[in-house]
Amino acid sequence: MLEFIVGGIVIVFILYILHYIQSSFWSLVVNIVITIFLMLFVGQDLRKRQMHNYYLISLVVVAVMFILRETFILKWLFYLLDLGGINIYVQALLLMFVLPNCIKIVHKKFNKNAGEGDSDEHGHQGHGH
């Protein structure tokens, strides 16, 4: 009985998405496939790579990007994503996956460069004293 209720909810949800997107079947398929892959990758990032803080920072950055979406560079980016048939929700998911990984790379690079000139606990610079 529960399976029929869940199945009915899923069918209504898919019909709602079809009505909302108002685009081609292939656009819907692309959006669903991208969403599934992103959810798998995000789950892996959160479980195995401990990227919770990076995803929290990404939420703020994505919100700002959507607020400033009409500026020149962001307008171009969102135009390309719209041109590809990717709806706004999948665009947000895509950005929330890409940005934390970029932030982590920059953070690790910054920490690596900042650690080269540090001194040890005795005040010696990193010259092997």
Instruction: Please tell me the predicted confidence (pLDDT) of residue 61.
Output: 92
Its pTM stands at 0.66
Distances (CA, A) of 45 to 20, 93, 99, 112, 119: 30, 14, 12, 21, 33
Per-residue pLDDT tens digits for 38-90: 888 888 888 888 888 898 889 899 999 999 999 888 999 899 888 888 888 88
